[in-house]
């Protein structure tokens, strides 16, 4: 099974805890951003192919080096079941994390945003050497939530508060009703309007 945007997110049961060098910085940063995700009614969960028993030491390392306590659940996936279910590791990757190196786990670097409808809204895949950009994840989450609420699209490098695009799926008549103050038409397919509240 190959996952795509709008695929249903696979269900799983896993052991978690409450609470590599690149991952250490990322997990610490996410802990610092947790209140921002909470404001957006969004829960954070981490996935590691390490067993939950090893997460306690890792959490201490994260707090010591990054200044933030991991305050969200971390899934332990030592049998690689969830990583495979979410298409982050190939089927032939074996059935245990034991003896694996960071290079073996290189594709377990995906960020998923899953909506309340259990559909995948965003997938970002990073190489091992590049830290994930969680400010971008927040920006994309704002865009996804705004689009779902108001049926708009966001342009390149959009930030909250900036103008948005009226999608072509919205007719001129519908747009007039929704935006009685008007909009700017750059092209027939590119109608720009202030961000709805």
> At residue 134, what are phi and psi to the nearest 5 degrees?
-80, -15
1 in Cβ contact with 87 (< 8 Å): yes
Task: Say whether 23 is catalytic.
Answer: yes
Which candidate in 23, 31, 49, 62 is catalytic?
A: 23
Q: What angle do CA 86, 23, 13 make, to 5 degrees?
A: 35
Count CB-CB contacts under 10 A for residue 11.
7
Contacts 24+ apart (CB under 8 A), 125-128: 128/20, 128/22, 128/102, 128/103
By annotation, the residues acting in catalysis are 23
């Amino acid at each position: 099974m190959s996952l795509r945007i709008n695929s249903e997110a696979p269900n799983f049961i896993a052991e978690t805890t409450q609470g590599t060098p690149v991952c250490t910085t990322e997990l610490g940063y996410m802990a610092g951003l947790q209140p921002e995700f909470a404001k957006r009614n969004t829960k954070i969960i981490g996935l590691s192919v390490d067993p939950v028993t090893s997460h306690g030491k890792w959490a201490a390392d994260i707090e010591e080096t990054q200044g933030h306590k991991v305050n969200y659940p971390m899934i332990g996936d030592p049998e690689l079941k969830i990583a495979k279910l979410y298409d982050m590791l190939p089927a032939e990757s074996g059935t245990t994390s034991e003896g694996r190196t960071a290079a073996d786990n290189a594709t377990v670097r995906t960020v998923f945003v899953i909506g309340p409808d259990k559909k995948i809204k965003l997938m970002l895949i990073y190489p091992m050497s590049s830290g994930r950009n969680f400010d971008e994840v927040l920006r994309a989450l704002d865009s996804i939530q705004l689009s779902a609420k108001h049926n708009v699209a966001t342009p390149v490098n959009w930030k909250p508060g900036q103008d948005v695009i009226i999608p072509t799926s919205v007719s001129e008549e519908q747009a007039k009703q929704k935006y009685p103050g008007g909009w700017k038409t750059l092209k027939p397919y590119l109608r720009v309007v202030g961000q709805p509240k």
